[in-house]
Amino acid sequence: MNKFCNKCATEFEITKDDFKFYEVMKVPAPTLCPLCRMQRKMSFRNERNLYKRKCDFSGREILSVYPTTIAMTRMI
């Protein structure tokens, strides 16, 4: 099934398998094209605010996208 994006009016396809998946997950079918959905997701990323902080692992001074109020721990 072809739909038109609510934001940019680009035509995009939603397959029958996709519709089955949406029904199983009980979510509505997308109203935005894949590119507009990706742009919306990426808009929540923090790439503009950098914080000077001490690395919780090494103790060295670093630039981070996380403020000093958030503790960073080693994940290995």
Residue 52 structure tokens? 């000077």
Residue 68: pLDDT above 90?
Answer: no
Q: Does one domain contain both 38 and 50?
A: no
Residue 28: pLDDT above 90?
Answer: yes
More confident residue, 27 or 58: 27
Residue 26: pLDDT above 70?
Answer: yes
Residue 40 structure tokens? 């919306």
User: 4 phi and psi, to 5 degrees?
Assistant: -110, 135
Residue 34: pLDDT above 90?
Answer: yes
Task: Give the count of domains, the chain.
Answer: 2
Residue 47: pLDDT above 80?
Answer: no
Q: d(Cα 17, Cα 27) in Å, to the nearest integer?
A: 14
How far is CA 15 from each of CA 1, 12, 26, 37, rounded to the nearest angstrom? 6, 10, 16, 17
pTM score > 0.85 for this model? no
Q: Does one domain contain both 27 and 50?
A: no
> Structural domain of residue 68, as residue ranges?
46-76
Q: Does one domain contain both 30 and 8?
A: yes
Name the strand (E) or helix (H) holding 22.
Answer: helix 16-25
